[in-house]
Amino acid sequence: MQTILARKNFNGNLQTGNNISRVMALRCLNCLREYEPLSISYCCPVCELSGSFDVIYNYDVLGATFMNSLKECDRFDMWRYQILLPVQRPLRLNLHTGGSPLYEFEHSGCGQVLIKDDSRNPSGSLKDRASALAVAMAVNQGFSTVSAASTGNAAAALACMCATQNLECIIFAPSKAPREKLAQIKAYGATVIEVSGGYDEAFDECHRRSNENGWYNRSTGFNSYMSEGKKTVAFEICEQMGWRAPDKVFVPVGNGCIVGSVYKGFQELFLMNCIDRMPKIIGVQAQGSDYMCRVWEAEIGPHTGKIIESKTGASSISVALPRDRIKALRAIKDSGGQFIRVSDAEIYEGVVHLACGSGVFAEPGAAAAFAGAKKLGAFSAEETSVVLITGSGLKDISGLVNSGALGIDPGSFRLKP
């Protein structure tokens, strides 16, 4: 397995500046209204939960300085791209967030498949990128308590980052969230409020309680700034590939924030002439949690799909109604990509194939992207595909054990005769 431009964790100086001044506007993707950056927070006050902001920067100005800013920074982490992050004073959290390795998956086909392993972040998932930004923004704005609704990864990431700043962290988690993730969240000192039902019920309760108590709400789909932290993974992919864009990027889709963020990262690089084309974004959903697939196939708006109870063992992408569905749908349409479904059996097979072939152990939700790449023929196509691994396999063991993909008896945890 070859590592593509894997870089060390340097300890160089991080430049600071008033980055919010580089933000030109906040544009609602639902009604297209624009707001001054400092006049409003979270999401569109007219559309509320049906709206989601795009953070718009002055790309003409930044395009001339972006590459030079990288030469002046010897850290390879998410803060390397501070010039395109909406924070006034980025925090040095003493946790190396971002800068994850890009590996080449060796196989016999003619296609090049690269694995972007974001399970290497501090709490074990890509969500650390958004949570680091959330904590920086909360501290800059004087909040002492930060909340989030999460099936586990975003919550663990937020609890991890809050622990570095002595912030109170309150998590609203579905009662069926994996126990490994709940244990991790509590180990960081966060308060966990278990909510009956799934992610959607946890989101509603977090939204209500945060408004009542004046907490900073990090929940994706409501806090539009979370896309900004996550988009840095696209910057890293292109830099690790020598400022080339891959042909396709496979992204697991639950709430829709990550796939929308990946698209935005590539789009910003394209607007600044750092890359010469856009990759096709492929959103991969579990068969039992496929809202985005259905609205994309039916060619209807993101708000008009039928909400069906989510049924998948891939907990991190188990969402009945994706909250960042506007950005998710845009990512696929505007990049010329597509949504695809994979079964739970294909997902668990993907966990094992990925681990055996690369040494990367992904949780089921993350391995959905790898299963999607296999299903769509990435190994045989004469093109370069990147598979985004968003979470560690240690975060959700039970489903894999019970799936039979390991040949283990779930009752005794011994090899089956």
Please give the full DSSP string across 76-102, using - where no structure is assigned. Answer: -SGGGGGGGS--SS----SS--S---E
- Is pLDDT above 80 for 18? no
- Which stretch of 131-135, 202-206, 314-318, 397-401 has the lowest confidence by average pLDDT? 397-401
CA distance 361 to 347: 13
User: What pLDDT does residue 337 have?
Assistant: 98
Q: Which of 21-30, 59-68, 198-207, 372-381 has the highest mean pLDDT?
A: 372-381
pLDDT in the model for residue 414 = 65
d(CA 268, CA 231): 9
The three-state DSSP-derived secondary structure of 201-256 is HHHHHHHHHHHHHCCEECCCCCCCCHHHHHCHHHHHHHHHCCCCCCCEEEEECCCC
* pLDDT above 60 for 1: no
For all residues of the chain together, what is the average pLDDT? 90
Q: Which architecture does CATH list for 102-124+226-408?
A: 3-Layer(aba) Sandwich (3.40)
Q: How confident is the model at residue 8 (pLDDT cuts 50, 70, 90)?
A: very low
Burial 389-409 (b: 16+ CB within 10 A, else e): bbbbbebbeebbeebebbebe
**The pLDDT value given to residue 15:** 32
For the domain made up of 127-217, give the CATH fold: Rossmann fold (3.40.50)
Residue that is written with structure tokens 């799934």 in the block:
198
pLDDT confidence bin for 21, thresholds 50/70/90:
low
User: CA 80, 283, 260, 206: dihedral to nearest 10 degrees?
Assistant: -110
The two domains 102-124+226-408 and 127-217 share their CATH topology (first three levels equal): yes
pLDDT band of residue 409 (cuts 50, 70, 90) is confident
Quick one: what percent of the chain has pLDDT higher than 70? Answer: 92
pTM equals: 0.92
d(CA 98, CA 225): 17
- Per DSSP, what are the bridge partners of residue 57? 23
Whole-number Å distance between alpha carbons of 327 and 310: 20
* Residue 285 CB neighbour total at 10 angstroms: 29
Query: What mean pLDDT comes out for the span 35-50?
Result: 82
CA dist 205 and 217 (Å) reads 12
Give the closest residue to 347 by CA, choosing from 288, 395, 292, 300: 288
Average pLDDT over residues 103-117: 95
Percent of the chain with pLDDT over 90: 72
3-state helix, strand, coil in the chain (%, to 5): 40, 20, 40
If we measure between CA atoms, which residue out of 256, 251, 171 comes closest to residue 221? 256
Question: Torsion angle of alpha carbons 181, 344, 102, 67, nearest 10°?
Answer: -80
Q: Is pLDDT of 19 > 80?
A: no
Minimum mean pLDDT among 15-19, 117-121, 223-227, 338-342: which range? 15-19
Distance CA 326, CA 136 (A): 26
Domain ranges of the chain: 15-84, 102-124+226-408, 127-217
> Which residues are CB-neighbours of 142 under 8 A, at least 6 positions away?
none
pLDDT in tens, 179-216: 888 899 999 999 999 999 888 899 899 999 999 999 99
List the single range of 16-25, 323-332, 402-411 with lowest mean pLDDT.
16-25
Contact status, residue 28 vs residue 44, Cβ threshold 8 Å: yes
Other CB atoms closer than 10 Å to residue 150's CB: what's the count? 30
**What pLDDT score was predicted for residue 6?**
35
Over the stretch 244-288, which tens digit does the pLDDT of each residue have? 999 999 999 999 999 999 999 999 999 999 999 999 999 999 999
pLDDT digits over 48-105, tens only?
A: 878 788 999 999 889 889 999 999 888 899 999 999 998 876 666 689 999 999 999 9
Q: Quick: pLDDT tens for 304-339.
A: 999 999 999 999 999 999 989 999 999 999 999 999
Give the model's pLDDT for residue 92.
Answer: 64
User: What does the alpha-carbon distance between residue 165 and residue 140 come to, in Å, rounded to a whole number?
Assistant: 12
